[in-house]
Amino acid sequence: MSLNTQRSVFVDCPAYGRCRCIVLFVSLCLLFVCAFSPVSAQNTGTSGPILVGTIDGPINPATDDYLKTLVARAQSEDARLIVLRLNTPGGLLTSMQTMVRVLLESDIPIVVYVSPRGGGAISAGVFLTLAADVAVMAPGTTIGAAHPVLGDGSNVQGDMREKLENFTVSLITAIAEQRGRNVRWAEQAVRESVAITDREAMEEGVVDMIAGDMDSLLNKLEGKTLSVKGQPKTLRNLASAPRVEVEMSLKQIVVNILADPNIAILLGLGALLGIAIELYHPGGVLPGVFGVVCLILSLAAGQVLPISSAGVMLLCLGFILFGVELFIPSFGVWGAAGIVSMVLGAIYFLDTDQVWSGSGYGVNRWAIGSMAALSGSLILGVVYMALRAGELKVATGAESMVGSLGTVRTAFAPDKNDAGVLVGKVDLLGTIWNARLEVGTDASEVEIQPGDSVRVDAVDGITLLVIPK
């Protein structure tokens, strides 16, 4: 059989037609799936800008909100990468936990870059660094010392120490396991307060790389494939991508300032000082306005800080004692007690169980003591001046004329209605007054002639009661 004959037979075969239809149908199905199904195999991440954020200071509600804003903006702009420069001594436990959750759940890959040189990710900063998709350190930086401490930097004692240690060890090991980092070192950072340099962190598998600057960081990330929420994502064209610096908003800056417990306490003392001065010396206006503004800001700070009920009660007691001093003067005794109560309230103002900072995140006792001493001195000074003012002789009105000398203008004569009283006219401070002089039963023996001087003993309406000089 010739070749053409074989081909004709094969083409005319019914099975051949069916097979060709099946192949065509399968091919169309594959094309349809490829055209309309989402690309889930791999996202190359070659579009969108690189957002760069900075956290340089304690971890608090302001930095928490800032990170959320950064991630939300990255999603809206379809950013290919977020780089978060981090330099922190630690901060609030609640804020740190929220920020860790944001880092783990972000759809955009996040790089935590511990910088600048000489900085570090301490205490709560360790958790944030380990939770990043890529952990990077600049040369000369440190990481570690995640042991729980009190707000003043001292160690937690008793049963609370064990509870906090166990909780944070479980949290940090879960983060390290999810990101594939050194779990053993993470536990040591909490239990033993271990801190290491950038090179040691690289060798221990705590961080992924070391980069001297942003350009070096992006060059090392070029072509790296990351697992973002279980999906691979390859970073490409990072060097040519636009970089957008994202700053804190005005609201976040204000909250960041108010989140410092020292600022919150100083505002509270300023409120007490301004209001007390206004109450002791009404009409000043400026001290009262200053006190009200400080009071509002201190209340706002109380909304962002974990405060202790004992500290608040002591601060309220101090305010009450100052009020007692105002209405029941005690030469400063109640005021001094109020100052002591305010100082103790400031020391115990912060709930230290929620603090996670290597250098402490509490109230500076020296600063508070100095401000309390200054406030107490000013308030006691105002009290002293108020008491002195009460002892001064009245300089205006009828009372101011008592004790003054007047000059007789007309001779004093017996009163028609009272034989023991002499009446006449007296010139006092340029005004002619009716005057009475009580001399007893025999008024004829007393002579008060014009030009004589008499002293004002009292004022009865428009009549002066006088005595001979």
pLDDT digits (tens), the chain, 469 positions: 444 444 444 344 455 455 455 545 555 555 544 444 443 334 444 568 999 999 998 898 899 999 999 999 999 999 999 999 999 988 888 889 999 999 999 999 999 999 999 999 998 899 999 999 999 999 999 999 877 655 444 555 555 567 777 888 899 999 999 999 999 999 999 888 899 999 999 999 999 999 999 999 999 999 999 988 888 999 999 988 999 999 999 989 988 888 777 787 778 777 877 877 777 667 777 888 888 888 888 777 766 666 666 777 877 787 777 777 666 766 667 777 777 777 777 666 665 555 544 455 556 667 666 766 776 676 666 666 666 655 555 555 566 677 788 888 888 888 777 767 888 888 887 788 888 888 766 656 677 788 888 888 888 877 888 888 7
Rounded Cα–Cα distance for residues 152 and 243 (Å): 39
Per-domain residue ranges of the chain? 3-36, 50-250, 260-391, 398-468
Q: Supply the pLDDT for residue 341.
A: 78
Rounded Cα–Cα distance for residues 141 and 190 (Å): 19
Q: What is the CA radius of gyration of the chain?
A: 42
Pick among 3.30.300.30, 3.40.50.970, 3.40.50.10490, 2.40.50.140: CATH of 398-468? 2.40.50.140
Q: Supply the pLDDT for residue 30.
A: 53
Check if CATH label 3.90.226.10 holds for domain 50-250.
Answer: yes
Rounded Cα–Cα distance for residues 237 and 223 (Å): 8
Annotate the chain with three-state secondary structure: CCHHHHHHHHHCCHHHHHHHHHHHHHHHHHHHHHHHCCCCCCECCCCCCEEEEEEECCECHHHHHHHHHHHHHHHHCCCCEEEEEEEECEEEHHHHHHHHHHHHHCCCCEEEEECCCCCEEECHHHHHHHCCCEEEECCCCEEECCCCECCCCCECCCHHHHHHHHHHHHHHHHHHHHHCCCHHHHHHHHHCCCEEEHHHHHHHCCCCEECCCHHHHHHHHCCCEEEECCEEEECCCCCCCCEEECCCCHHHHHHHHHCCHHHHHHHHHHHHHHHHHHHHCCCCCHHHHHHHHHHHHHHHHHHHCCECHHHHHHHHHHHHHHHHHHHCCCCCHHHHHHHHHHHHHHHCCECHHHEEECCCCCCCHHHHHHHHHHHHHHHHHHHHHHHHHHHCCCCCCHHHHCCCEEEEEEEEEECCCCCCEEEEEEEECCEEEEEEEECCCCHHHCCCCCCCEEEEEEEECCEEEEEEC
Identical fold, 50-250 and 398-468: no
The torsion angles phi and psi of 56, rounded to 5 degrees, stand at: -125, 85
Q: What is the pLDDT of residues 423-457, one digit of tens each?
A: 888 888 778 888 888 876 665 667 778 888 888 88
